[in-house]
Every structure is written in structure tokens, then in C-alpha cells.
Structure 1
Amino acid sequence: MLTAPAGAGAGMLVEIVRPPVPTGRGLGELAKPLGDDHAEYIGQALAKPGMRTTTDNYRDGRLIGLHLDNWDKLPYGRKATGRRRLALNLGPGDRFIILGSLDAEAVCRVVHPDSYERRHPHTDDYRAYVAAGHPLRCVRIRLAPGEGYVAPTEYLLHDGSTEGQDKTSAMAFWLGHWRRGILPSLV
């Protein structure tokens, strides 16, 4: 079982949760009552069944695979202060989140030992880390329809997956600064 240290700040914490059921107000309003008046609805993504990873590269139509988000464009020392992503599986099928076990700052320190403090950690740092022979573990967590996560996707390597599933899965996403425990935990 993976658990965060008791004192881990929200910006470093992944929570598997059951978000509120969307009401007639629409998905864009779902996150408003969760404590961040500036939370931003960033849309939905539909994934076909059987996809190892689900994030599209809009430039060339291929899949990105495991990656870091960069919505807030934060430098090394502030990466853990970024907004967290709230995700809700709208179904009809299960979806998985895949998470890397090593944070962006730790990887950046290894890949750029003499300049990490001046860097903006990036997905390419993880690629260089693995190419240099360093180990990277990942976990895959199932999310049934109605379940979701709140995760620091700018701080942890991640992607979605429908591998092994026979139904499509739609996810809705928001970005915000939410305190730890804002939604009921499923773990």
C-alpha cells in the first residue's frame, strides 16, 4: 500500500476520491463548492477501450504516454505549489490512472545535478532519467464510473489508461488549489 507522509502538503498528494454527482448546473460548476473560487474546468477526454495510455499529442495525433503537465509553468523550487487536477470518470467503462513514484524535483536533481535549481522540470527529464538506466516505478489505479482523483499532475508523472477494458471511458477535468481531504477518500 502506498501512503503519503502525514505532513505531505496537498501539492504533493494524490487522493483517490468520489467527486460529487454532477447536477443540472453542469460539469463546469462541479468543482466550485470545493474551496477554490478560481478552480478551472478544462474539459473532457473520451478514451476508446484497450488504450495503454490516453493523452493525445494534438500536434501529431500520436499518444504522449506518461508525462508531466505544465499548465502553471512553474520552476523547480515551486513545482509542488502548482494546481492539482481533479478528475471524474464519467463512464461508461472503468479508467485507470498511471502514476510515477518519483516526483519531478527528484528526477530533475538527478538529471541536472549542477543546474536543477534553475530548471523547469519537464517530461523530457524523466525520459533522460530512464535512458540513463535509472529505475522508475509506476502504479496503476482503477477508477470506476463516479470515481476520480485529485493529483499534482505537474509534479508527478502520469497518464490515463483503458488497457484491458471493453468500454469507452470519458473523464472530466478541473484545475485548482484544493486542500487535503476536500472529497471523501476511497482508499
Structure 2
Amino acid sequence: MPELHPAAIVHRDPGALLDRCDIGGVRRLYREPGYESGAIVPAGDWAPMSADLPRRYAPTSFTREGGMVEFFRLPADVIALPELTSLVDTLGDPEAIPLAATYDPPDEPVTHRLPTSGLRPGLHIDNRENASFTDCAFARRRLCVNMGPGSRYLFLVTTPITSMCKAVYDRYENHHPHTGDFGLYLTERKRASVLRIRIDPGEGWIAPTALLPFDESTEGERLPSTTASRLGRWRRGRLRPLI
């Protein structure tokens, strides 16, 4: 079965994307300490991306800006949160939503924890604006920067939650997508791919996390890392591209 509406990844150099990105499947966890029951995580079967995938994931003229994934490198003078705040103020959304900075120790398989329970939900969408199926494509994108000192990885599922909803619901137009829809999709379709993209200190990403299930990881790293994040309606190409 061909993949439904794959993620749109902005890139200039397919080789640079291939060099820092692997692809694999997913699995579900039940009764695993520290995780929500049924949490979806990468299966660990990482393999290099095939040479045709960058072309398949490239945005088209029909791709909305709010559905694009971008990777960028910070300017050399942005070395701490105050400079980052000043930079973000210039990116085109005066109503951007600041998110709490995170500090993640090394060797964490996934980093996100639910603030209420402390449990890890695994790959999830962040529909904090409670956007409907129709409005998900216009939701704010998450901008996240690795402030170091260690490297980390972004996990990004390649099929949007809206495509999953179309596959499992007869009436999806007024539905408000949530992470549980990903689980239902796996139950009925049993197919999903996840990308693992390395993000080094001073690098960052912008992604539609209300559309694409995601998480981050410090697995295999020896140093901790801190992130700074904002939600905003960012204009494409405002930061120095990474790939």
C-alpha cells in the first residue's frame, strides 16, 4: 500500500538529508514501566533512507506552508535563550506561543513526558490548539532548537494524523485529531514509518506537530541537551537551512 500523503520535508541537498536521517517502523508498549499503556515508539529497526525518499518527501506547489518540515542552523551569535527569544521575534509571528525549555539527560529512548503523570506517551501529536480535522493544516508549527551540549534526535512519523483519520473514520470532517487516532490506525492498518533525524547543538527544526506524530531522543548520546521551543506561524526559509 503506498504511503498516504507523506511528510513534506524542505531540503536543497538530498544527500545531506540521507546523511543524517534513518527510517524504521514502530511498535507498541503495554505494561512498560514509565510509559503510557499502548505507547507507540520506534521499533529500533533503523535503516538508511532509500535514495528515492527525499524526492517523495519534497514539498510540491500544493503543499501549504503550515504542513512543511524545515531544518535550520542558528546564527553564530545565538548561544543562549535570550538571543534565541530575540531571533524568534523576527520570524513573522508576534503571537508565537513560548513553550517550556526542556533538559534531557543522555541515553533517553524518548524524551517527552506528560506533565500530569510523568509517563512517556511515545510518538504523539501536540494538538494543543484543539484544531479540527480541517484546521490542522493551519495550526502553528513547533520551532525547536537544540541548545546543547549534546546532540539529540527528532522522531517524525511520515504519515499525517489527518490521513490516518481518513483511513479509519467514515465521518472525519468534524473530528479533532488526537494521538489515540494513531493507535487506532495501527490497529486497523498496521503500517507506519518513522524518521530519525540527528540534531546537533546549534541546530533546530520546524515541524507541524499537530499533524505529524513526533518525539525526541537522546539515545546513545553521552551528554545531556537542552531545548527551547515556540509554536508559531513561521514563514518558510527565514532561517539558514541545514540541509
Specify if TM > 0.5. Answer: yes
Instruction: Measure how far apart 1:42 and its partner are.
Output: 1.2
Question: Aligned to 1:169, which of 225, 228, 238?
Answer: 225
TM-score under structure 2 normalisation? 0.73
For 1:86 and 1:144, the matched residues in 2 are separated by 15
1:5 maps to 2:59: yes
Match of 1:29 in 2: 86
Instruction: Say if 2:120 is the partner of 1:63.
Output: yes
> TM-score normalised to the size of structure 1?
0.93
Secondary structure of the 2:173 match is helix
Q: How many residues align?
A: 186
CA distance in 2, matches of 1:38, 1:26: 18
Cα separation, 2, equivalents of 1:156 and 1:131:
18
Q: CA 1:24–1:135 in structure 2 vs 1: closer, same or farther (change >3 Å)? A: closer
TM alignment of 1:111-122, pairs within 5 A: 111-112=168-169, 114-122=170-178
The structure with higher relative contact order (CA 8 Å, sep 6+) is 1
Instruction: Please give the alpha-carbon distance, in whole angstroms, between the structure 1 residues aligned to 2:116 and 2:184.
Output: 22
Pairing 1:6-155 to 2, within 5 Å after superposition: 6-7=60-61, 8-20=63-75, 21-22=78-79, 25-112=82-169, 114-155=170-211
The structure with the larger Rg is: 2
The CA distance in 1 between the partners of 2:82 and 2:208, in whole Å, is 26
Amino-acid identity (%): 38
What's the CA shift for 1:25?
4.0
CA RMSD of aligned residues (A): 1.6
Deviations 1:69-108 (A, max 9, x none): 0121100011010001111101110011000000011001
Structure 1 unaligned blocks of 5 or more:
none
List gaps (5 residues or longer) in structure 2.
Answer: 1-52
